[in-house]
């Protein structure tokens, strides 16, 4: 439980990815990767996580920055959210990601928080983070899924022993942009579709991403195929500043001759992973957008929702966000 004191650990600061991978290998399960630190230091302070070695990636220059390529845009995992929010190329060609980054937390947190850290952070379920022995922590219960639980922030879909949701605002945008995650380990480099990077409790209840011990998320690649599309991002939270999303939506639409040629629509805050809404995409594909079509797309997205005791409000909220995304993106 919360003790508000940080245990001791060895702080290691490599300057190359190769050195960081070697340190991960040397320290094994006792190691913890540190990016911006906004999530990590909270875990340490509460004594829920007790790494013996913290590997600070902040000195690795190759993990920072935004670069144009022949195929699109490359973003280093340690690029700050503020840089992404303000970068002229991101704003001009991939505004969806800039808007999502600009909605994360507060300006102070965005100045130090990184894109890699934002997508790799663990769930914010307070039962889990406060150290209770839930399924995700290796226990035998889900404390958020009982008649008495405080679960207004939790899942509508994909519950499998755990009803926690992804807290990331940038994750739905990356899925909507069909981004590739660049992951390095001692065996080499791997590109992973953003949609497959996040995993639910039915796959592995102890993790929220495919990252395993020994892996480092080094960057992101945004393809040209979705550059300069019609975009929409909206986040609804209890407070405008700092808070995590109750529901957010990210949409990318390519329009040709007034009709939707391609679309990717994704919601966060409703499942353990960013939820791609393929039914809504199918409804609008090949059609001209009007209010009736937008409403139909919105109402389609909650057909399999299974709300908990205190999060029924997420059903109409999700419907309305998707309706607005379809209607206003174009």
Whether the per-residue pLDDT at 186 is higher than 80: the answer is yes
Indicate the domain borders of the chain: 1-63, 64-120+165-329
With cut-offs at 50, 70 and 90, classify the pLDDT of residue 5. Answer: confident
With cut-offs at 50, 70 and 90, classify the pLDDT of residue 53. Answer: very high
What residues contact residue 218 under an 8 Å CB cut-off, 6+ apart?
Answer: 17, 62, 63, 76, 77, 116, 182, 183, 184, 189
Whether the per-residue pLDDT at 13 is higher than 60: the answer is yes
With cut-offs at 50, 70 and 90, classify the pLDDT of residue 70. Answer: very high
For the beta carbon of residue 148, count every other beta carbon within 10 angstroms. Answer: 7
What average pLDDT score do residues 314-327 get?
98
pLDDT digits (tens, 9 = 90+) for 71-98: 999 999 999 999 999 999 999 999 999 9
Whether the per-residue pLDDT at 172 is higher than 70: the answer is yes
Whether the per-residue pLDDT at 2 is higher than 80: the answer is no
| Domain covering 64-120+165-329, topology | 3.30.465
Concatenating the DSSP letter of every residue in 74-111 gives EEETT-BHHHHHH-HHHHHH-HHHHHHHHTSS-HHHHH
| Domain covering 1-63, topology | 3.30.43
């Amino acid at each position: 439980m919360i003790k508000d004191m940080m245990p001791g650990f060895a702080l290691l600061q490599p300057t190359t990815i190769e050195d960081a991978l070697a340190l991960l290998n040397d320290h094994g399960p006792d190691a913890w990767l540190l990016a911006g630190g906004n999530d990590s230091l909270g875990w340490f302070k509460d004594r829920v996580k007790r790494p013996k070695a913290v590997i600070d990636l902040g000195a690795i220059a190759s993990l920072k920055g935004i670069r144009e390529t022949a195929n699109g845009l490359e973003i280093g995992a340690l690029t700050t959210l503020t840089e992404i929010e303000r970068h002229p190329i991101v704003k001009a060609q991939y505004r969806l990601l800039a808007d999502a980054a600009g909605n994360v937390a507060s300006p102070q947190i965005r100045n130090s928080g990184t894109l890699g850290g934002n997508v790799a952070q663990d769930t914010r379920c307070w039962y889990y983070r406060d150290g209770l022995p839930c399924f995700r922590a290796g226990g035998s219960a889900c404390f958020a899924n009982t008649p008495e639980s405080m679960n207004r922030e939790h899942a509508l879909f994909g519950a499998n022993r755990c009803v926690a949701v992804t807290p990331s605002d940038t994750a739905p945008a990356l899925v909507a942009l069909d981004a590739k995650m660049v992951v390095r380990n001692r065996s080499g480099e791997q590109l992973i579709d953003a949609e497959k990077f996040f995993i639910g409790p039915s796959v592995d209840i102890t993790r929220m991403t495919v990252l395993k011990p020994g892996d480092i998320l080094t960057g992101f690649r945004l393809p040209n195929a979705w550059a300069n599309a019609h975009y929409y991002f909206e986040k609804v939270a209890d407070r405008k500043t700092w808070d995590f999303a109750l529901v957010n939506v990210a949409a990318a639409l390519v329009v040709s001759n007034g009709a939707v040629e391609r679309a990717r629509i994704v919601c966060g805050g409703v499942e353990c992973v960013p939820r791609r809404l393929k039914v809504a995409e199918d409804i609008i594909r090949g059609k001209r957008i009007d209010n009736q079509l937008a409403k139909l797309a919105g109402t389609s997205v909650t057909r399999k929702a299974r709300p908990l005791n205190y999060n029924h409000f997420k059903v109409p909220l999700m419907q309305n966000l998707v309706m607005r995304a379809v209607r206003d993106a174009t």
